[in-house]
Chain A
Amino acid sequence: MRRQGGAPQGLLTALAAVLLTVIVAAPFLFIALQAIFPKIGAGSLAAPFSAMADVLSAGRLPRATLNTLIMGVGTVIVSALIAVPLAAIRALYRLPGAALWDVIFLVPFMIPPYIATLSWVMTGQPRGYLEQLTGQNIAGLLFSVPGIVIILALHCFPVVYFALSRSFAAIGGRFADVSRVFGAGPLRAFLRVTLPLALPGLAASLILVFAMAIEEYGTPAVLGTRIGFRVLVTGIDEAIGDWPVDLPGASTLALVLVAMATAAYLAQRRLLARGGFETTGSRPLQADRRPLGRATLPALLLFGAVALVSTGIPLLAVLATALAKTISGGLAPENLGLQNFTAVLATSTTARSALLTSLGLGLVAALLTGLLGAFAAFVVLRTRARGRFYVDLLAALPNAAPGVVVALGMILLWNQPWWPITPYNTLSILVLAYVLLLLPQPVRYTTAALQQIAPSLDAAARVSGASELTMARRILLPLIGPHLLVAMLLVFVVAARELVASLLILPVGHQTIATFIWRQFDQGSVGLGMAMAFVTICLTTLLPLVVLIAARRTEDIG
């Protein structure tokens, strides 16, 4: 006979706690230690907090923090301005091609901002594509704070659009119609019922946008550095990457960034926990939606314009650059050629090995992150051992970890001279970084899936004669499998093209997709970089898009 909450549960919880401590907690701990004790690298606890004081007195920290806030809040405002009208039209009216617009608006979210930013530079800079076509360039707007904010918003607004159109539709279908029965006109129904009920969901999605914006590296690095607009992320990057290396300063900036991301994450979780009013499964029928009437054409123009700016122009600029024989040749039919693509895909080129490295890293990271995330979620939800609260906390911690902070944590933890062996300077350090960065995805998906499985399904298996492990294998795993697969796909996509962590901890002699594109833009062949970008977008945007659409279709039927 076994004691209550017997040995296997305690063992599983302990294993999860140890894994998460090494992979998640230790890097954060080393950042905090480095920020407090600047000489800890030399084995000394001398002069605690002195580095923090230095960073503060030099004015670096307040400036970078303020700039980060400006970038985050600005992105939130512009995203809301774009997404709210689109979501209202999409949810409440009969918009021609509604499903197609949804797919189109997934694309800007899937294009990494650094690629979109580079393509906007190609388009908007002096003698860029826009000037070649219209005689005007937008370099002034592009290399400015509003330019940074607009480009980030064009990447982030789909988050708001999808969250809001779903809750508008559910609320409009259920509650607003009731208010109309009691005499409210359509506008009043929207303002008095639909909008207030959707506010928590709207706020949660805007906070997510804020978190995405303050963690972004590529856009402020390309556009902001030239105008001296330094944010926390680029500040950390410079402190690590530029001589003299300033690890205490980087750690101090990182702590502020982590604090901001944590606050955003907690606020978002609070809002979502309070619960939306939309119920699942009450997807309104097309017939419940009102016709647009004479507003059809303006609405379509609006959707078309947003699609063009967020998806069309970046993709076309990437393609045009990739297909150009020479950049100076410009947009001319005789300047078109496939030699860049041939170079990317040809054997034994740096480009091809970078592509393969990233795909391999993405695959390994997806498998490991998926396993670890599912394991942590299982321990938190289905065991009774006391350590599960610790596991829960650690599994949530990476939500506050921007890529640059993860890289810093990897350097501080694994680049210590006293490790007998270390993953540092090998590809496995990248895998560790990706796992830490993306752990929240499988945790979130598996948690949601596990919560939907009635506990009596476990109990029925146990009573039927299945041990705990057999039950997990035969009942839980198949039921969470599809959700886990989607999460792993997401991990694969993001890891395969991750930029800033890869740049900072790239082992000598290796390249990944993102670092390759980044370096080609800096000093090599922009055309080659953009060909790589185009291949990447196709591989990591279209493939998941197809899988996600297929998954949603089967969900509808099942």
Chain B
Amino acid sequence: MDLTPQPPLSTAVVDTPAALEMAGLSLRLGGTPILRDIDLKLAPGRVLALLGPSGSGKTTLLRLVAGLLVPDAGTIHLAGKLVAAAGHALPPEARGLGMVFQDYALWPHMNVAGNVGFPLEMRRMPAPERAKRVARALDRVGLAAFAERRPSELSGGQQQRVAIARAIVAEPALVLFDEPLSNLDRELRETMVGEIAGLVEELGLTALYVTHDHSEAFSLAHEVAVMEAGQIAQIAAPEDLVADPASVSIARFLRLGALLPVQRGAQGWYLRGGAFLAPPEAAPEKTDTVLLPSRALSVTEPRAGMLTATVTRTLFRGDGHWATLALDGGHDIQLLLPHRPAPGAVLGLQISHGSLRWFPSSPSKRTSP
């Protein structure tokens, strides 16, 4: 197979190649299709998050990029260079990447400096220069004083910082993160998201960041690719994803608000068996589900003609009261309220109609109004 970068067809278009480009990538493992027809493109200096529920194939996709797996179909280009095609792959050591693993994957028989210096050693960097680079990388992650420690003598957060230092020390053109924070407790996770964001900005890293936590993806990435069952369901900037999810399942996975069944009635669109929502022109013909984003709703005194809801349950959550409200027609929605409502109280709900999102029954792609 030809390994040299393919010359661009038209010499007029000489822009920098994408740091990573996948086309039509598919993989089966043990007969089951794990990834199907993946297309992705990542420009240098950008961060792309792969967001999806557990088992959706994120790790597998990352392992394909790293060269730890070989695709059945499709191609992968790194910086314009073909590195994988059906049944063929450049081995991982020839790709010059950095990678952070979910379980840290620090080598227990080497100390921190040995772990971080390993990629430089593999690139045959002389020892004095290597020591300097290792010290700088450890300094970046705030572990300059820990160079001589064994990984087992560090806390989980410190171990993951070492793993990050190892991934960036050789200044790779692309860094892969596989749920790096999922083994840490919540407080530490929030701190670490900030630290990684700082590093990414400071070093101008190009990164593919896998996670199942949408707040992590939204905080770190320029673009988010939502994965569902081995396919990419939507690629968008975080803000666009929240404002305009492409399907019911994406909206549900991102927990953007209540998803309720709707039906066409005399005046327009109604909750099924319940209250009036919007005039006929708000949504196309085949619509059957509406997304009521939490931020599209505000609670007022109930007035005539208004959508009303009855409080069935509340839980105090520290930042407010998490209330379950029953709507006419047997629909439930959940809202964060500033004050504890009395159980059984009737509230009025004001809807900002522009924020409602309408979905057709099937196929799951949303049709624009």
> Using a CB–CB distance below 8 Å, which chain A residues touch chain B?
1-4, 6, 454, 456-457, 459-468, 470, 474-475, 478-479, 558
In the complex, which residues of chain A have a beta carbon less than 8 angstroms from the beta carbon of B66?
Answer: 459, 462-463
CB distance from A4 to the nearest CB of B (A): 4
In the complex, which residues of chain B have a beta carbon less than 8 angstroms from the beta carbon of A457?
Answer: 105, 107
Let me know if B122 and A466 touch, CB within 8 A.
yes
B108 on the A face (CB < 8 A): yes
Query: B45-70 toward A: CB 8 Å interface, digit per residue (1/0)?
Result: 00000000000000000010011101
Let me know if B101 and A462 touch, CB within 8 A.
no
In the complex, which residues of chain A have a beta carbon less than 8 angstroms from the beta carbon of B176?
Answer: 463
Let me know if B93 and A460 touch, CB within 8 A.
no
Let me know if A1 and B90 touch, CB within 8 A.
yes
In Å, the complex CA distance between A467 and B176 comes to 19
In the complex, which residues of chain B have a beta carbon less than 8 angstroms from the beta carbon of A461?
Answer: 107, 118
Within 8 A of A (CB), among B120-160: 122-123, 152
Let me know if A454 and B91 touch, CB within 8 A.
no
CB distance from A552 to the nearest CB of B (A): 18
Beta-carbon nearest neighbor of B82 in chain A: A1
Let me know if A460 and B99 touch, CB within 8 A.
yes
In the complex, which residues of chain B have a beta carbon less than 8 angstroms from the beta carbon of A465?
Answer: 93, 96, 119, 122-123, 170
Let me know if B91 and A456 touch, CB within 8 A.
no
30 contacts between A and B (CB under 8 A): A1-B83, A1-B84, A1-B85, A3-B87, A4-B70, A4-B88, A4-B89, A454-B105, A457-B107, A459-B92, A459-B101, A462-B66, A462-B67, A462-B68, A463-B66, A463-B67, A463-B93, A463-B97, A463-B99, A464-B119, A464-B166, A464-B170, A465-B93, A465-B119, A465-B122, A465-B170, A467-B91, A468-B91, A474-B118, A479-B108
CB distance from A474 to the nearest CB of B (A): 8
In Å, the complex CA distance between A454 and B106 comes to 10
In the complex, which residues of chain B have a beta carbon less than 8 angstroms from the beta carbon of A462?
Answer: 66-68, 91-93
B1 on the A face (CB < 8 A): yes
Q: How many residues of B contact A (CB 8 A)?
A: 38
In Å, the complex CA distance between A157 and B85 comes to 59
Which of B96, B105, B122 contacts A470, CB < 8 Å?
A: B122
Which of A2, A468, A475 contacts B89, CB < 8 Å?
A: A2
In Å, the complex CA distance between A63 and B340 comes to 88
CB distance from B329 to the nearest CB of A (A): 49
Let me know if B101 and A456 touch, CB within 8 A.
yes
B9 on the A face (CB < 8 A): no
CB distance from B166 to the nearest CB of A (A): 7
In the complex, which residues of chain A have a beta carbon less than 8 angstroms from the beta carbon of B102?
Answer: 456
Q: A462-B68, A466-B122 are in contact. Are A475 and B93 (CB under 8 A)?
A: no
Let me know if A475 and B107 touch, CB within 8 A.
yes
In Å, the complex CA distance between A460 and B102 comes to 11
In Å, the complex CA distance between A464 and B166 comes to 8
Q: A1-B88, A2-B88, A462-B68 are in contact. Are A456 and B105 (CB under 8 A)?
A: yes
In Å, the complex CA distance between A467 and B118 comes to 13
In the complex, which residues of chain A have a beta carbon less than 8 angstroms from the beta carbon of B152?
Answer: 558
Beta-carbon nearest neighbor of A462 in chain B: B92
In the complex, which residues of chain B have a beta carbon less than 8 angstroms from the beta carbon of A6?
Answer: 91
Question: Most chain-B CB neighbours within 10 Å: which of A6, A465, A467, A470?
Answer: A465
State the 6 A-B residue pairs at the shortest beta-carbon distance, nearest first. A465-B122, A456-B105, A462-B92, A464-B119, A460-B105, A1-B88
Which of A1, A3, A475 contacts B3, CB < 8 Å?
A: A1
CB distance from A477 to the nearest CB of B (A): 10
Let me know if B101 and A460 touch, CB within 8 A.
yes
B98 on the A face (CB < 8 A): yes
In Å, the complex CA distance between A4 and B68 comes to 10
CB distance from A190 to the nearest CB of B (A): 36
